[in-house]
Each structure stands twice: as structure tokens, then as C-alpha cells.
A and B are shown apart, each in its own frame.
Chain A
């Protein structure tokens, strides 16, 4: 049992002290504390605005879809939370292509990608799928998007099509195009780059969060199909299906490649 509370007015706990207290809490408890009273909420809001101060490592959560909707199971709290309703495509109808730094990379029914913070419900749209190298939007007579065409050539130059472009319905493109998305950092804390492994032939494209377009990564003279990717110390490390590791340094719209580890398989 807690000892009975008495005269001290905890709602008037000095701001900097309450901030230190909140910084000890993981997300579920942070949210509950923020809801206690107006002054605590103000401090918690301020903490969220100042982002970087709150660096509490979080115990992993499991994201899953249940009959009642999208839920997060918090191992720290030992309970599950139902995600609030999201604007746009409901969470249950999205495809999830990545999870980094507490954010999910989701694809909605229009095959557009967005970042979703499942704890706060915050969303950030990524550049339009139509800006990707292999994707061409096809409009109907009324000028409305009717489908996408996907071109088939690999990441070596010059472009050589192995088959004619294939048509995909707007909602269907995401199923064939995307393979995996990796973030360079927490987009709420500043500059963030998304690296995407996508079809055809497991290529790479990247985009800045808040940027206008996807940038295609060509690999000439090498030919590479990527199976995985991670970000470490300001660089992306992409692994090929043949066991090689390529390090990519992003500058503007260019990605320069260093081969860290040669392919081990033919």
C-alpha cells in the first residue's frame, strides 16, 4: 500500500523536476501521467516538443491486427493498446514494410507510403509512388489515376527492359513493388532518410522525409539484388542476395557505394 497522500501539492511540482520524472517513464506510463492534470499535461507536451530530451529507451512493442483493430502489446506495461483511428486508410488495411526507431512504414490502399508512429498516431507522408523510377501513373480520360505501369529493368545502366511494362491496379502495386523500408533515424528528431528495397530485382531507392521524390540507386557496373539493409553511423549497409555488403553514403540526390564485402555466392 502507498502511504496516504497529504499536504504537498504534486500538481505544482516544479517543471524541471516533473520533466526529469517523465523522462524515466516509458511511453504507456508517460501518456497516463500526461493525462493527470492540466499542469502535468503542459509539461508533457513541452517534453514532446523538445523531443531530444526524452530519450528513454523503450521496451519493444508487438504490433498486430486483432478482430477489433490494430493493437500494440507493450511488454513494459504488460497490456495491449488499441490504436486510435487514423486519418486515411485504417491500420488494418495497410501493408507494413518496415519498422525503425518506433515508426512503422506503411503502404495505404493507394499504394502510397507513409510513416506512422503507432504510439502517438502521428503520420508523415513519404514522396509519391509515382516519383519512383520504375513506376508510371496511367490516367483515364477524365484525368483520374486509373492504374500504374511497372517497368522491368535492373539497377545497371543503360536501362534494358527484360519484359514490357506490366499494369497494376492502384491498390495492387504495393504488393509487388515494396520489399523493405529502413529509416536512418527518428523522423520526429530531425533529418531522416528512408531506404527502400523494391522490385523489380530487389533494387534500392531512397527519399528524404519531407522530400519531393524518390531517388533511384544504380549499381553499374555491379549487378546487385538486395535482401536486407540497415543504417549505422550515417551510412546505409545493404546486403545482396549473394552475400555481399554495400555501404551507401547519401549526399543530396546521390548515393555513393563502397563494397565492404564481396559476394560470397555466385
Chain B
């Protein structure tokens, strides 16, 4: 442990010496600027990590033309919160379940973070996470979306997500066979 600590300190000193700033500035498609912890951005986003390592970070605001200001604000908020959060000993599901899910369950603060989002904001955030290669945020947002589908009939899911039933009569008959489980009478 002692040796590791020494190493970590040396690493920190080197890092600080190397970088003038410990944040990076990101610019949304609509021109708004956001500051984010460089360490968190590099750790949570493969795309930002690549840009930081490759020196393509602009001090006046790195252009992220694909991401709107609301989504970028959430991304930055998530990164900064992540930088400050103490990782729990084990990301163990608190729900009573027979199985451990294949993904790591969201932590309490992550759950709250996505729970407060509107449908639109969630949609934009999941796309932003995908674009930026943010695996953890993608897991958390996809998990949230899946929670919104749980225990619902196809009709109820359409209602939640405002999706039109675009099947032809023939197709509908086909999926009744293919997906018999989705059709039940209460």
C-alpha cells in the first residue's frame, strides 16, 4: 500500500506539472460553453480522452457540434458529479432479484440524476453519451429507459414514448405469432 501511495503522489505531481489547467471547456452546438473536470472527462469518455491525449482541446471551447446545450450541460454535470462521488465498495443491486444483472447497477446518485430528466432530455443525453463514447453514462441511461418499459404492454410502451403503431394488419398478425408473449388478456 505504501509503495502504491508514493507512486500515486508522484503521478499526481507529474500530471499537475504537465497540465496548466485541470478543466477543459466544451462548446455545444448552440455555442454555449461548459467547464468540465479534465480527469473525469478523460476517464468517462473515450472520445474526450482521445481529444485530450491528441491535443485537440481548444482552450476557448472545444466544438461539439452534435450536442445541444441542454444535453451537454447534463453530460458535464454528470462528469463533475462523478469526479466528486466516492465510488461505493461494490455496485450491488439493491433490488430483490434472483439475478445479478450483467451490467453494473446504477448508484443511487446516478439513478437520481437520470430520474429528474424529461423524456426529451433523456433522449438527447443517451445520444450524447453514445457520441462521446461514455460507456458508464450509456449504461445508466439505457438502464433508465429499460425501467420505463418494464411490466408494460406494447400499447403502454407506445404511450410512454409517444410511438405510433406503424404495423400493417398482416404484420400485426405475424407478430402475434412471433411474439405471443407480448399479447395477453388480463
Contact = CB atoms under 8 A, between A and B. Distances in A.
B182 A34 contact: yes
A32 B182 contact: yes
A90 interface: no
Nearest to B139: A20
Contact of A2 (B138, B160, B171, B175): B160
Interface string A55-80: 11111100000000000000101110
B145 A36 contact: no
Interface in B92-124: 97-103, 118-120, 123-124
B150 A25 contact: yes
Interface stretch (A6-14, A156-164, A225-233, A249-257): A6-14
Interface stretch (B6-14, B18-26, B161-169): B161-169
Interface residues of A toward B: which range? 35 or more
B161 A38 contact: no
A119 B179 CA distance: 9
A59 B101 CA distance: 10
Contact of A10 (B99, B143, B162): B162
Given A31-B179, A35-B179, A2 B102 contact: no
A58 B130 CA distance: 27
Contacts of A22: 146
A33 B166 CA distance: 14
B97 to A, nearest CB: 7
A78 to B, nearest CB: 8
A84 interface: yes
Given A8-B119, A8-B124, A32-B154, A55 B102 contact: yes
A84 to B, nearest CB: 4
A33 B118 contact: no
A143 interface: no
19 contacts: A2-B148, A5-B160, A5-B162, A8-B124, A10-B163, A17-B138, A24-B142, A25-B146, A27-B181, A32-B149, A32-B154, A32-B179, A36-B158, A37-B163, A38-B171, A81-B184, A83-B180, A84-B177, A121-B180
Which 10 pairs across A and B sit closest by C-beta, in order of nearness?
A5-B162, A24-B146, A57-B99, A8-B123, A10-B161, A84-B180, A35-B182, A35-B154, A31-B181, A20-B142
Interface of A: 2-8, 10-11, 13-14, 16-17, 20-25, 27-29, 31-38, 40-41, 55-60, 75, 77-79, 81-84, 119, 121
Given A5-B161, A35-B182, A82-B184, 16 more contacts: A4-B119, A5-B160, A8-B120, A10-B163, A16-B130, A17-B142, A23-B142, A32-B153, A32-B182, A33-B154, A33-B157, A37-B165, A38-B171, A59-B98, A77-B151, A84-B177
